[in-house]
Structure 1
């Protein structure tokens, strides 16, 4: 199993990633260039840890078929978003690859100027 903190810290390691709470204190939203790439409900140590991630639709469907802990995005566009439940059936490294994919999709959707501005910033690892 992995914690909310591990998920948040990994997301924040991505270049230009910021943590916001646009939906209130119960949901951590990770953004790059003003666009969301991850949503992590705040469990406060209570309940199941999960993360919702943007995903290519074909890959999203494939992941849902292969892993019971990968479900259509909760309260999100179910074609483009998956919610991953941290039930221990996936390694943290597998979830980190899904975070990378989500970040890369969102980063690629930014304008060239926005991508260049993020790439020029000091800090971040991606």
Structure 2
């Protein structure tokens, strides 16, 4: 399986937590209580990593790579699944993970964004 580094890459992002959803047999990645990625399998058990992306970017990637498809069992406009046995370059996969994380981070309140970044812990200037 390719992309063994992807779990650690997502977990190294500020404020990310993961859990396991037994009913879906999937590992989910959250920021601020909202999911931005999920690792599981398709209906045939092939391993996939699904990420939330801006619709135009996701559509572009699906046209470029046969191993990126509309999000399996997710909203097909916003979610994209990457087959983990595929041949998408690592830098493209990192960019997908970065953009998925940022897409969800930007939907959070400014207060939560500051808490996640640690900026609210800095002493205020006087």
TM-score by length of 2: 0.83
2:76 is matched with which residue? 78
1:111 equivalenced with 2:125 (yes/no) = no
Gaps of 5+ in 2: 120-126
Contact 2:24–2:40 under 8 Å retained in 1:
no
Structure 1 residue 48 displacement after superposition: 3.3
Distance 1:75 1:25 in 2: 10
Contact 2:40–2:49 under 8 Å retained in 1:
yes
Contact 1:54–1:81 under 8 Å retained in 2:
yes
Count of residues in Structure 1 that have an aligned counterpart in Structure 2: 117
Structure 1 residue 50 displacement after superposition: 1.6
Distance 1:9 1:37, change over 3 A: same
1:124 is matched with which residue? none
1:63 is matched with which residue? 61
Equivalent residues in 2 for 1:1-126 (5 A)?
1-3=1-3, 5-22=4-21, 24=23, 26-41=25-40, 48-120=46-118
Distance 1:22 1:49 in 2: 15
Structure 1 residue 42 displacement after superposition: 6.5
Distance 2:85 2:20 in 1: 24
Answer with 1 or 2: which has the greater Rg.
Answer: 2
Q: Cα RMSD between the aligned structures?
A: 2.0
Q: Deviations over 1:104-126 (max 9, x none)?
A: 000001011110110118xxxxx
TM-score by length of 1: 0.83
Distance 1:78 1:117 in 2: 31
